[in-house]
Amino acid sequence: KQEVTQIPAALSVPEGENLVLNCSFTDSAIYNLQWFRQDPGKGLTSLLLIQSSQREQTSGRLNASLDKSSGRSTLYIAASQPGDSATYLCAVRPQNAGGTSYGKLTFGQGTILTVHP
Amino acid sequence: DTEVTQTPKHLVMGMTNKKSLKCEQHMGHRAMYWYKQKAKKPPELMFVYSYEKLSINESVPSRFSPECPNSSLLNLHLHALQPEDSALYLCASSQPMGLRGEGSYGYTFGSGTRLTVV
């Protein structure tokens, strides 16, 4: 059974710091990994999608890496800002035995990030 | 259009009421999902529709009844809910993957419906 773990559970940093959020998964048989951001009481906003064949993806101040063989992904946030404060979730789309077509995401528990001025 | 739209944003209902949550997407995605999220927890999958057919029911109580009228719409009908059903209900869409894993797509989530059962 696929399990996804995110470390740390919470992180508080001063504005301007570079930071790294970690995600690990137990089964390397995945199609892709997706990082989401969630503001309190809101839906999930997709930040980055990494295919299993890719090593990293970048969008603005965000960079996500994927090491499928070791079951790890990191989300790097450069020059953090108070507006980055949110919960960050990683989710893997595991390969399905039997060829089912819908793909069931497995989520980590999230990292709560607070960036203070 | 790259959005998933959910209505209403907030809903308060009594335990004897019948209500419906609605979800709409116009990205041409053929897989749609209902998730339930409790405070400080990740989303939990409830239902999956693939090509307008129910593919997964994660042992959800029958007081939750999903419906997929067409490829753009997904409804969740609610009846005789309990206070513990209060949560954020999220809709998502994606493309189904090919039987050999071709076409690996990400998910797009809506902003959710905050449901309170009184």
Q: Is A95 on the interface with B (CB under 8 A)?
A: yes
Q: Tell me whether B111 touches chain A (CB under 8 Å).
A: yes
- Provide the pLDDT for residue A97: 53
Instruction: Provide the token pair at B3.
Output: 């959005």
Nearest residue in B to A88, CA atom: B42
Closest-CA distance of chain B to residue A44, Å: 6
DSSP string, A28-68: --EEEEEEEEE-TTS-EEEEEEEETT-SEEEETTEEEEEET
- Please count the CA atoms within 13 angstroms of the CA of B47 that sit on its side-chain side: 21
Q: Among residues A80, A88, A84, which one has the least CA distance to residue A22?
A: A88
B46: left (phi over 0), alpha (psi -120 to 50) or beta: alpha
Instruction: Tell me, yes or no, if A110 comes closer than 8 A to chain B by beta carbon.
Output: yes
Residue A68, beta-bridge partner list: none
pLDDT tens for the 118 residues of chain B, in order: 679 999 999 999 999 999 999 999 999 999 999 999 999 999 999 999 989 999 889 999 999 999 999 999 999 999 999 999 999 999 999 987 665 555 578 899 999 999 999 9
For B42, which of A45, A101, A109 is closest by C-beta distance? A109
Tell me A97's DSSP state.
T
- Over chain A (117 residues), what is each successive 10-residue block's mean pLDDT? 94 97 94 95 95 94 96 98 98 71 82 97
Residues 57-86 of B with CB under 8 A from A: none
Among residues A75, A46, A52, which one has the least CA distance to residue A62?
Answer: A75
Nearest in space to A96 (alpha carbons), one of A13, A27, A22, A5: A27
- The answer to whether B42 contacts A31, with C-beta atoms less than 8 Å apart, is no
pLDDT score of B75: 98
Position A1 scores a pLDDT of: 83
pLDDT tens-digit profile of B85-111?
A: 999 999 999 987 665 555 578 899 999
How far is residue A45 from each of residues A14, A28, A68, A86, B31, measured CA to CA in Å? 23, 24, 23, 11, 18
pLDDT of residue A31: 86
